[in-house]
Amino acid sequence: MQPGRILLSCAVLVALAIPARAAPDEDLLGKAAGYPVGKPANWFYDESVRVGSFSRLDSFLPYYTLQKATSPLQLQTAAGNPKLSYRFDKQTWSLDDFLDHQRVTGLLVIKDGQILAERYQYDRTAADRLVSHSMAKSIVSLAIGMALAENKIASLDDTVARYVPDLAGNPYGETTIRNILRMASGVPFKEVYDGNDDNATFNRIRLTRDSVTALRAFPTREVEQGTQFNYASDQTVVLMLVLRAVTGTTLSEYLTPRLWQAMGAEADATWIKTRDGTETGSGSFNAILRDYGRLGILLANDGSAGGKQIVPKDYLLDATDWHRQPEAFRPQKATPYFGYGYQFWLFPGEKRRFALLGVYGQSIFVDPELKLVLVITAAAKNASVGKEPFARERDALWRGIVARYGSW
């Protein structure tokens, strides 16, 4: 055998002897069983089926489909291999270190419409539809902006009951659409994802009865509307009912030509539907990682795609610029860190940066000035990632990527 072939054979043997990099907690997440899919009763809380369920939700729950574009927006890969790094816990880490530390199923970085990095773990691929969780709330907000521009909604300062008479006399019905968008109805609602909170109660009623009955189960207002941020998924359902009433169709059908196809999606998306025929709304949207990236590109371009204004620009600015929010909804006021716009999370700092966030680590971060997008899908340990290092390290990663191309 020639020396070169001997060296090549040795190299192959060494490579085969090196085990593939293990993803965090892959055994707990069901690797040995092929990352199984859960059932309606356990998919949200049982971590042994979390990875499978979060990428196959529409395999066991009913759904609507948002059909892909006939001419998808092409995503080119940037030349070279940009080294992206960040500081966390007094050390410098790489993009791959972040994946080694956190339960990330997919990660995508886009700059100026080009892919800088794309990663998958836990045997997930570019073809998997990954669940949005509450990132879906921001999509509902975009639909409100479109309906407003089409004069289907006369004013955001109209009360909900003008469009949904079944909620008349209920505090949600007597709240303005604008205050619902800001999660500021003033109705007390506890959402901590322990299976015993108000969100669980709301969902049980909604799944066995209907959305209006579930909303009317919360009949009191604790503080004046528009004065205090209180995150409550049922308020997004209120917006869903407004949209169903003014469009006369499902949200999925409404958004298919206006958003999904208009932005150039390459794959169908799905949205889980409930007993009364409405989409979940507050969550359960499913799309491939690159289409989440395309959504991020659309938002980074202030709602414009293909030379057309897809999302009304002024509405999007109202939704995502903290300078346009009342004091109570600005960063470090609405929460100790984030501000809150129209179903979007707003970063602190003078420049406009915002996020779509969902439980267990789902996220799309957008910097319009830098045309920078970071998409992360995940199967974190806790629904509220603030209970673990995930949120802090994710923020450090985003700040590191921003610093690579600009300044905070």
Task: Provide the residue-wise pLDDT of the chain in tens; the chain has 408 residues.
Answer: 444 444 444 444 433 344 457 999 999 999 999 999 999 999 999 999 999 999 999 999 999 999 999 999 999 999 888 999 999 999 999 999 999 999 999 999 999 999 999 999 999 999 999 999 999 999 999 999 999 999 999 999 999 999 999 999 999 999 999 999 999 999 999 999 999 999 999 999 999 999 999 999 999 999 999 999 999 999 999 999 999 999 999 999 999 999 999 999 999 999 999 999 999 999 999 999 999 999 999 999 999 999 999 999 999 999 999 999 999 999 999 999 999 999 999 999 999 999 999 999 999 999 999 999 999 999 999 999 988 899 999 999 999 999 999 999
Cα–Cα separations (whole angstroms), residue 234 to 134, 147, 215, 336, 392: 11, 20, 7, 23, 27
Domain assignment present for residue 35? The answer is: no
Domain assignment present for residue 160? The answer is: yes
Domain assignment present for residue 48? The answer is: no
Domain assignment present for residue 97? The answer is: yes
Cα–Cα separations (whole angstroms), residue 239 to 24, 173, 229, 285: 37, 11, 16, 16
CB atoms within 10 A of CB 34: 9
pTM of the model: 0.94
Strand ranges inside 344-385, DSSP E: 345-346, 354-358, 362-367, 372-378
Domain count, the chain: 1
Structure tokens at 23: 């993803």
Beta-bridge partner residues of 377: 106
Comparing CA positions, the residue from 166, 137, 111, 174 lying closest to residue 345 is 137
Q: Is the separation of the CB atoms in 69 and 266 below 8 Å?
A: yes
The CATH number given to whatever domain includes residue 168 is 3.40.710.10
Domain assignment present for residue 331? The answer is: yes
Domain assignment present for residue 208? The answer is: yes
Under DSSP, the state recorded for 368 is T
CA–CA dist 186, 175 (Å, integer): 9
Task: Find the domain containing 266 and state its range.
Answer: 88-405
Domain assignment present for residue 32? The answer is: no
Domain assignment present for residue 382? The answer is: yes
